[in-house]
Amino acid sequence: MEHKKRIWQVLASVPLYAVLVALFVPSVRRAAEAHTELYWGYLFLCAFLLSFLIMPHVINLGFKLDAVDRPDADRKQHEKATPVTGGVAIYIGFAVTVLVNFHFSVEMKAILVASTLILVVGVIDDLFGIPARIRLLVQLVASLILIYFGVRVTFVPPWLGGVYTETLITLVWLIGITNSMNFIDGMDGLAVGTSVIYAVFFAIIALMTEQFYMMYLAVAVAGSCLGFFPYNFRIRKPARAFLGDSGSTFLGFLFASFAILGEWGDSILDIAVPIIIMSVLIFDMTLTTIVRIHTGEVKGFGEWLRYTGRDHFHHRLMALGIDEKVAALIFFSVSICFGLEALALLFSDIWISLVIVAHSILVFIVIGVILVLRTSFDDAPPIQRSPPGASRAE
Mean pLDDT confidence for 178-184: 92
| Inside any domain, residue 15 | no
Of the chain, the percentage scoring pLDDT greater than 70 comes to 87
Backbone torsions φ then ψ of 82, nearest 5 degrees: -130, 130
Number of residues written out for the chain: 394
**In contact, 232 and 108? CB cutoff 8 Å:** no
For residues 89 and 96, what is the distance between their CA atoms, to the nearest angstrom?
11
Q: What is the DSSP letter of 236?
A: S
The packing angle between helices 279-295 and 324-345, to 10°, is 120
| Inside any domain, residue 294 | no
Burial (Cβ within 10 Å: 0-12, 13-18, ≥19) of residue 21: exposed
Q: Give the pLDDT band of residue 4 (cuts 50, 70, 90).
A: low
Mean pLDDT confidence for 142-147: 96
Q: Which residues contact 362 (CB under 8 A, 6 or more apart)?
A: none
Backbone torsions φ then ψ of 69, nearest 5 degrees: -105, 115
| Inside any domain, residue 45 | yes
Burial (Cβ within 10 Å: 0-12, 13-18, ≥19) of residue 218: buried
Residue 8 has pLDDT above 70, yes or no: no
Backbone torsions φ then ψ of 214, nearest 5 degrees: -65, -40
**In contact, 261 and 107? CB cutoff 8 Å:** yes
Q: What is the pTM of this model?
A: 0.89
Q: What is the DSSP letter of 262?
A: S
Mean pLDDT confidence for 184-203: 94
**Domains in the chain: how many in total?**
1
pLDDT, the chain, mean = 86
| Inside any domain, residue 7 | no
Highest averaged pLDDT of the listed ranges 229-238, 314-323, 326-335: 326-335
pLDDT by residue (tens digit) across 272-311?
899 999 999 999 999 988 888 887 777 766 666 666 677 8
| Inside any domain, residue 170 | yes
CA atoms lying within 13 Å on the CB side of residue 259:
26
Residue 129 has pLDDT above 50, yes or no: yes
Domain membership of residue 243 as a residue range:
35-268
pLDDT by residue (tens digit) across 58-101?
999 999 998 898 876 445 555 688 999 999 999 999 999 999 88
Q: What is the model's pLDDT at position 243?
A: 93
| Inside any domain, residue 172 | yes
| Inside any domain, residue 125 | yes
Q: Give the pLDDT band of residue 267 (cuts 50, 70, 90).
A: low
CA atoms lying within 13 Å on the CB side of residue 256:
31
**In contact, 310 and 384? CB cutoff 8 Å:** yes
Q: Which residues contact 10 (CB under 8 A, 6 or more apart)?
A: none
The DSSP H or E segment spanning 69 is: strand 68-69
Q: What is the model's pLDDT at position 241?
A: 93
pLDDT by residue (tens digit) across 50-66?
999 999 999 999 999 98
Residue 6 has pLDDT above 90, yes or no: no
